[in-house]
């Protein structure tokens, strides 16, 4: 299934049905009164958050959505049926914006959360409604009101407890593969991960949390460089960030400079994102060169009061301690048993 996190759609609620002009025609009743029924109300457009969806692919393929039209009224005081509501199921984390004004119309953050996005048009009244003592045979009825229609822009922001942050090829996908059932593509070249991946991490005593693997960032990401701003938004929903570093490239590349560059990108994209708590993770500790370089970078983070967890996503070394740190940040305590 393709991961689609942005889509523009045109939505229309149902038109109301027209009222009916009708008069009774029965034997021995030469002056039958008006009996035209009302038109039915048009269907509403309702959006609902579903935990079973993770992409906006279906709406990308069907961008025009329309609710049912109300039925027209009929004679013998028969009212038209209401039009069918249009219920759009969207992934949890979807933000709905007016495509013209960019106004946020809804932010679906909880499974089952729903609201009426557009109301259906009111049905017209039949001529029976207009009969009075002085006007006993009205020959007119109301037309139904048209439904509302607008263009909306849908933006999906992943809902995760923990987000993986870092330059390309530092081992984010390897880590989420090690601790969850997620299976992102892993290869020895940059930008292997082309879409965010979610994994459920099983912790002790049947507890679990959701981890998001975000494609690697580079300088200029907030302006769209690399995979850029398309995926920075997914970090806005995460409660805790793991900043993954690979120091095996030293001295050819400076991991501390890369760390600072990514944090600048976060601040430029959204200052609140830069304020999120980060835990530093040094990957590939199973390599001798990483063990040799570790004392060179530790003082930098210790001076800033940041915790550092050396791990190996390949062998699993250090990962239990890292999961305990995540548990402390999410729940305030560490479980004693697996």
Give tens-digit pLDDT for 53-63.
Answer: 888 889 999 99
Domain boundary among 156, 186, 206: 156
Q: Identify whether residues 15 and 140 lie together within a single domain.
A: yes
Per DSSP, what are the bridge partners of residue 114? Answer: 48
Orientation of helix 319-331 relative to helix 172-179, angle to 10° = 80
Q: Is 95 helix (H, G, I), strand (E, B) or coil?
A: strand
- For the cut 90, the answer to whether the pLDDT of residue 206 exceeds it is no
- What is the rounded (10 degree) CA torsion for 113, 92, 331, 324? 160
Take residue 84 and report the two structure tokens written for it. 């069918």
Both 125 and 185 in a single domain?
A: no
Give me the phi and psi of 130, to 5 degrees please.
Answer: -105, 5
State pTM to two decimals: 0.72
279: pLDDT strictly greater than 60: yes
So what's the pLDDT on residue 37?
Answer: 96
pLDDT band at 217 (very low <50, low <70, confident <90, very high): low
pLDDT the model gives residue 331: 86
* Nearest in space to 167 (alpha carbons), one of 56, 281, 98, 245: 245
Which residue range(s) make up the domain with 309? 162-331
Q: Is residue 336 part of a domain?
A: no
100 burial type by CB count under 10 A (0-12 exposed, 13-18 middle, 19+ buried): exposed
Domain identity same for 124 and 193:
no
Tell me, yes or no, whether 125 and 178 share the same domain: no
Q: Give the mean model confidence (pLDDT) for residues 142-150.
A: 96
């Amino acid at each position: 299934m393709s991961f689609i996190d942005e889509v523009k759609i045109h939505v229309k609620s149902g038109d109301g049905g027209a009222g009916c002009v009708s008069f009774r025609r029965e034997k021995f009743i030469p002056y039958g009164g008006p009996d035209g029924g009302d038109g039915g109300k048009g269907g509403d457009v309702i959006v609902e958050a579903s935990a079973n969806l993770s992409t906006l692919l279906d709406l990308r393929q069907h961008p025009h959505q329309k609710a049912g039209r109300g039925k027209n009224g009929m004679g013998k005081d028969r009212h038209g049926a209401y039009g069918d509501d249009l219920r759009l199921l969207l992934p949890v984390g979807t933000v709905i914006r007016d495509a013209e004004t960019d106004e946020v119309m809804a932010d679906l953050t909880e499974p089952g959360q729903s609201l009426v996005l557009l109301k259906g048009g009111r049905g017209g009244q039949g001529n029976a409604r207009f009969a009075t003592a002085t006007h006993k045979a009205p020959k007119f009825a109301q037309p139904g009101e048209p439904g509302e229609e607008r263009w909306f822009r849908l933006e999906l922001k992943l809902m995760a407890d923990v987000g993986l942050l870092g330059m390309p090829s530092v081992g984010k996908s390897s880590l989420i593969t090690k601790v969850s059932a997620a299976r992102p593509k892993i290869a020895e070249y940059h930008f292997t991960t082309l879409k965010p991946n979610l994994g459920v991490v099983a912790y002790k005593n049947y507890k679990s949390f959701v981890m998001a693997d975000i494609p690697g960032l580079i300088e200029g990401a907030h302006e769209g460089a690399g995979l850029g701003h398309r995926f920075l938004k997914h970090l806005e929903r995460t409660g805790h960030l793991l900043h993954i570093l690979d120091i095996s490239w030293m001295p050819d590349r400076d991991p501390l400079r890369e760390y600072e560059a990514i944090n600048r990108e976060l601040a430029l994209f959204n200052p609140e994102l830069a304020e999120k708590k980060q835990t530093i993770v040094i990957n590939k500790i199973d390599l001798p060169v990483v063990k040799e370089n570790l004392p060179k970078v530790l003082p930098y983070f210790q001076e800033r009061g940041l915790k550092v967890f050396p791990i190996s996503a390949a062998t699993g070394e250090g990962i239990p301690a890292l999961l305990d740190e995540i548990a402390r940040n999410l729940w305030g305590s560490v479980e004693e048993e697996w």
